Structure 1
Amino acid sequence: MKKNIFASLLCCILAMFAKAETPTSPTVNTPKFYMGVCTHFAQYKGDLKLNLKMIKDAGFNSIRDDIYWSQVEREKGKYDYPKMFLEAPSEAQKAGLVQLSVLAYGNPLYDGGAYPQTNASAEAYSNFAADVAKKLKGKNAFYQVWNEWDGGCGMPKFRGTSTPKGYADLLKKSYEKIKAADADATVVLNSICKGDKEFEELLKTGVIQNCDVLSLHTYNHSESQFNRTPEAWYKRMLGVGEIVKKYNSGKTKDLFITEMGFNNRTGRNGYTYAQSADYAARLYLLARTIPWIKGIWWYDFQDDGIDESELEDNFGLVKYDLTPKPAYYALQSISHIIKNGEFAGKFSSKNKNLYVLRFKVDENDVLAIWNSDPKNHAKITIKNKSPNRSNFTLYHAGSSPLKSGWGMIDKLSHGNFIPDSISFSATERPLILEGDFSNIEISEAEIISFDETKRPDETNLFLPEKVLIVKNPNTPPETVKIDETRDGPLPQESDLSASAQFSYTRDILKVKVFVKDNGFDFTNDIKKYRNFDHLELSFKVDDKNAPGECTTFAVAAHQSQGLKSIPVKTQFGQSAADIEGKFEIPTGGYTYEIDIPAAALGLVAFEKNLSIGASITVEDFDDLKKTHTLRWGKGNTFPVEMRNFKMLYFN
């Protein structure tokens, strides 16, 4: 497969200069570009056949899914594949899609599930990789050796322990064995996710010699306003090409973007449905101007859930119930350009925000036009210098095509009809023109102010469900129930419930949490609190200089030392020492009494009329296994916004 993929590009170039009447076309199995989408069939999410049909209908030609090592090799040296691991690539092939399989994550049989960086575990992983290639030969084109090695995805207990050298050794073993099992397989580098510095550190180890295609994950939603756009992504990719040349004898190397997307969460770092449609279309079009980018797999096809504020629940091209979003239609409408187009050049403009890209698709010329400035439109005029001017098709990405012809009435020419010209307003959504544009010229764009920010603002006032009045210790406190669940309703037979009380002095906020539970798992190390019964207390002071931060403490109980705590994060970077308190086990449950100094929250004092956000999370473990989570507010989740907290009002 590898030889065919990249040889096809040479065929396409030669065809441009050939005199044969019929142009050379790539074979069915070697598209010019992989327009892919990420799926989660290995996690048994989504309806396999229905999702594949929708993916194919949208114009995609590939999916990316996982094959988990730990689920295949449950006994050393023996491989038993869950049904979905084999069914997904087989059904994808039937649908005309090729699967990029991620050979994912650790196996508890080797080094306790740690990164396979010892000789024995790396050998075992590479044997697993070879068996997958042998098992799926003829049904699977691409094998990606790990996913986000640098970022710790799928490896929460071992995050931060991976090394570039460890991966380089693993890749070398895996590359050799995959190729021995299937010489036509394409081996894809791990998807670096933490940035170009980490990417370069990995290239320094020589991995470029032991893979067929490089890989990156290039999310930019957490960047500043002007660095979270497709155009910023494009500039970054040009820089990536220069990095690759440093470690590949001055040449680029083919690259897959195996995850990229613009999420629709309503909180911080989210994009509107319209924005994600605009950006998706622009990103794929820009990618096709860089010859060594051979594919992009959109993350992901289907929303993982329905929580508007949860990042992973809002990346999909379709909603959780498969309702298509605007980005689905935007990519569907330009899929033929992305998969089959040849980039033919870019029209230069003094307006740095105006993009006019030219492609060749079969016998048609294609123009993709947009203006990336959200505050302006750009009016451009196209003049056709050919004596015979044929009609053309035009549409915005995601819209129905419209047949049109040449000719315009120009306001600046006193209403005269100009038969050889057309004029358009370029906006953030790409405008696509298809027809014969072999002999045209484009006039300089006229900037037309259209600032969306001038529209009257709607006032969005987010009030907490309830304001809790915090009083001094001499006044009976109000009790609040901690009864919101993260994983659905508690079973009827559950013994778990929780409540809290607050009071304060000028210097100390006193929090008392009572948990009714028949069992309790003590910690032996507060730094490992996540594996035992514990609380997480989060507080947020409304401050414009730290809008996306909060202060969180983890509180647990030691068998002999009583209540222990540790600051997990701080809103203002303040020095937050371990908070104090006591732990008791009355009949039928246990009680945490916690004293939190004002300074620990970055405050001078707790004063009358002060209000701060607060939330409490109760994590319940039985026999060292997590059973349930109870919450009062969602302040310790992402995004860290005041509306996810309950409100404490000091009086």
Structure 2
Amino acid sequence: MKIKPYIIILMLIGNLWANSPFYSVQTHFGQFRRSDMDSLSVEEQLDLCTEAGIQMIRDECLWSDVETDSGIYVIPPEIDHYVNSALSRGIDIYMILNYNNSIYAPSNGSGITTQANRNAYARYCQAVVGHFSPLGVKHYEIWNEPNHGVLFWTPQANANDYTDLLHTAYDSIKAIDSNVTVIGCATSPAIGNPSPYIEGLDFIRDVYAAGGALYMDAVSFHLYQIAYRPEHEFISYVNNVKLFVGDKPIYFSEFGYPTHTTWPNISLAKQAQYVTRMYLTCFMDPQIKSVMYYDLKNDGTVPEEPEHNFGLLGFDKTPKLAYTALKELISKTAYSRPETSSSVNDIYFADIHDSLKIVWTYSGTKSLKLQVNANYVRLEGLLGDTLAYCITENDTIKLTINESPQYCITQTEIPIVDKFSFNDHDFLLYPNETLKCIYSAKTETGTPIIISPSAITWEFIGQTGELKNDIFTAFSPGVGMIIANILGIK
């Protein structure tokens, strides 16, 4: 299928939403038996979350760890440690309540199909919520990928059974704290996967058809499109979810791009672009309340293994480019969010805020004329590096943009134009020959300054020719000087 290139323009409006934990990541602190999830590693990872501005982590408190003896509920100290450490840093917790418990079922991965098993699960939910809600944990997700009949709901995924579980769990949780948010579905995409999977959209549809909307405050789903650009069919997928859930709040609780060395060969630079673009794409939809990258840290060290290489950090916690890019995005947008968006001829817009715009293309390079309502603009790249300064033309700038998001930030002033020059410094013209004033400019440090043509007025001193706009015509022998006047500076 041929995909038309398009430009996305994101313009932020300054409504404070710091209390909305949009920027989230998946961590694996709940898997505390892993050697790379000891208490020191947890602290180091949370420090990096804080440094990046991450607002919430998605993690778990397994039923099989809480209830090891029937009817006795003990929160493992390792779970308490990561929860308290995150909360002390101002990072919210999105707690997954999973999976089954072999005390009540054939295995921890078994689906829940009986009321006795549902009641036992509900008691575990009450124990966890009763313990953590007073501390400030207010988001609870019922299961993880219950449509995954191979690992997480064996031997066969079943939407009606899951809906019955939602009903029992929801009522039990709300009896403990009616103000917490209970999130349902948490589906694997499972696109094209045969039984015992159920495709994610079909599962959400069937849960809603069974009355599940009454037993969740929000809906979540997972989507992995590692072979495609982030915008590829994402908006249509979300719109299909909305067909079933209406205006129910949406939590996009897993997406990721692995940097393993085999197909589809996502480089570190491409991962940084894609992570940023996916958050921005979701950013334009106010119904999406939180987006969770999977995952914070690489889970292993095998270069060709996808599951080992999803992280924003390497296995040794060294930041990848994607971590730096996300940190830059959060620093610029954590207190703003667009109100609405629209599209015209494959150009996407959000409501404007004069100080910041973010632009990129779906694919390839395109030219763009952008309204900025300012005389000066600084262009920054994905990682916060200054690409250029712009002096505008009637408050607009002409840009060449590509697949890597650029930040267009209005300025009250820019660095001094240190080097302004024609392509050639000296010209020898014969009578009636013409010269177009082609020029370049840089700061003292060599950063390009893009000067829009109408931001310059031209002046010719001499009697040997004529200057009209930026075209000089020689008349007779002699010497003259062409002067550029840039917003009052010659």
Structure 1 and Structure 2 fold alike (TM over 0.5): yes
Counterpart of 1:329 in structure 2 is 324
Q: 1:74 to 1:348 in 2, by over 3 A?
A: closer
Counterpart of 2:148 in structure 1 is 151
The correspondence of residues 345-384 of structure 1 with structure 2, limited to 5 A, is 346=341, 348=343, 350=345, 352=346, 355=348, 357=350, 360=353, 365-373=355-363, 376-383=364-371
Deviations 1:490-519 (A, max 9, x none): xxxxxxxxxxxxxxxxxxxxxxxxxxxxxx
Amino acid in structure 1 at the alignment position of 2:370: I
Kindly state the Cα deviation for residue 131 of structure 1 after the two structures are TM-superposed.
0.7
Amino acid in structure 1 at the alignment position of 2:368: I
Kindly indicate whether residue 205 of structure 2 is the aligned counterpart of residue 209 of structure 1: no
The correspondence of residues 28-47 of structure 1 with structure 2, limited to 5 A, is 30-31=19-20, 33-44=21-32, 45-46=36-37, 47=41
Task: Give, in whole Å, the separation in 1 of the partners of 2:261 and 2:137.
Answer: 37
Of 115, 119, 122 in structure 1, the residue corresponding to residue 118 of structure 2 is 122
- Preserved CA contact (<8 Å) 2:379 2:389: yes
- Preserved CA contact (<8 Å) 1:337 1:359: no
Q: 1:431 to 1:153 in 2, by over 3 A?
A: farther
Task: Give, in whole Å, the separation in 1 of the partners of 2:242 and 2:204.
Answer: 11
Equivalent position SS for 2:257 = coil
Task: Give, in whole Å, the separation in 1 of the partners of 2:395 and 2:296.
Answer: 43
- Preserved CA contact (<8 Å) 1:406 1:419: no
Kindly indicate whether residue 193 of structure 2 is the aligned counterpart of residue 199 of structure 1: no
Kindly indicate whether residue 164 of structure 2 is the aligned counterpart of residue 174 of structure 1: no
Task: Give, in whole Å, the separation in 2 of the partners of 1:61 and 1:35.
Answer: 5
Counterpart of 2:239 in structure 1 is 238
Percent of matched pairs sharing the same residue: 25
Amino acid in structure 2 at the alignment position of 1:399: G
Counterpart of 2:127 in structure 1 is 131
Kindly state the Cα deviation for residue 38 of structure 1 after the two structures are TM-superposed.
0.4
Structure 1 residue runs without a partner (length 5+): 1-15, 17-22, 246-251, 408-417, 438-651
Aligned Cα root-mean-square deviation (Å): 2.4
Task: Give, in whole Å, the separation in 2 of the partners of 1:133 and 1:340.
Answer: 29
Tell me the TM-score normalised to structure 1 length: 0.55
Kindly indicate whether residue 417 of structure 2 is the aligned counterpart of residue 427 of structure 1: no
Count of residue correspondences:
381
Amino acid in structure 2 at the alignment position of 1:332: K
Structure 2 residue runs without a partner (length 5+): 1-12, 191-199, 413-490
Amino acid in structure 2 at the alignment position of 1:287: C
Equivalent position SS for 2:252 = strand
Amino acid in structure 2 at the alignment position of 1:53: D
Q: 1:55 to 1:380 in 2, by over 3 A?
A: same
Kindly state the Cα deviation for residue 393 of structure 1 after the two structures are TM-superposed.
3.4
Task: Give, in whole Å, the separation in 2 of the partners of 1:390 and 1:420.
Answer: 6
Task: Give, in whole Å, the separation in 1 of the partners of 2:158 and 2:394.
Answer: 64
Kindly state the Cα deviation for residue 339 of structure 1 after the two structures are TM-superposed.
3.4
Counterpart of 1:104 in structure 2 is 98
Task: Give, in whole Å, the separation in 2 of the partners of 1:270 and 1:179.
Answer: 45
Kindly state the Cα deviation for residue 191 of structure 1 after the two structures are TM-superposed.
0.6
Q: 1:160 to 1:70 in 2, by over 3 A?
A: same
Task: Give, in whole Å, the separation in 1 of the partners of 2:173 and 2:360.
Answer: 43
Q: 1:345 to 1:143 in 2, by over 3 A?
A: closer
Kindly indicate whether residue 314 of structure 2 is the aligned counterpart of residue 313 of structure 1: no
The correspondence of residues 467-482 of structure 1 with structure 2, limited to 5 A, is none
Task: Give, in whole Å, the separation in 1 of the partners of 2:149 and 2:136.
Answer: 29
Runs (4 or more) in structure 1 with deviation over 4 Å come to: 23-26, 344-349, 354-359
Equivalent position SS for 2:186 = coil
Kindly state the Cα deviation for residue 257 of structure 1 after the two structures are TM-superposed.
0.8
Kindly state the Cα deviation for residue 340 of structure 1 after the two structures are TM-superposed.
2.6
Kindly state the Cα deviation for residue 404 of structure 1 after the two structures are TM-superposed.
3.0
Kindly indicate whether residue 44 of structure 2 is the aligned counterpart of residue 50 of structure 1: yes
- Preserved CA contact (<8 Å) 1:254 1:294: yes
Tell me the TM-score normalised to structure 2 length: 0.72
Q: 1:220 to 1:337 in 2, by over 3 A?
A: same
Task: Give, in whole Å, the separation in 1 of the partners of 2:280 and 2:237.
Answer: 15
Kindly state the Cα deviation for residue 61 of structure 1 after the two structures are TM-superposed.
0.2
Task: Give, in whole Å, the separation in 1 of the partners of 2:289 and 2:181.
Answer: 13
The correspondence of residues 468-507 of structure 1 with structure 2, limited to 5 A, is none
Amino acid in structure 2 at the alignment position of 1:78: I
Kindly indicate whether residue 206 of structure 2 is the aligned counterpart of residue 184 of structure 1: no
Equivalent position SS for 1:43 = coil
Kindly indicate whether residue 269 of structure 2 is the aligned counterpart of residue 274 of structure 1: yes
Deviations 1:515-559 (A, max 9, x none): xxxxxxxxxxxxxxxxxxxxxxxxxxxxxxxxxxxxxxxxxxxxx
Deviations 1:398-440 (A, max 9, x none): 2324683423xxxxxxxxxx56442221111111112389xxx
Task: Give, in whole Å, the separation in 2 of the partners of 1:203 and 1:228.
Answer: 30
- Preserved CA contact (<8 Å) 1:257 1:296: yes
Q: Which moved more, 1:208-217 or 1:336-345?
A: 336-345
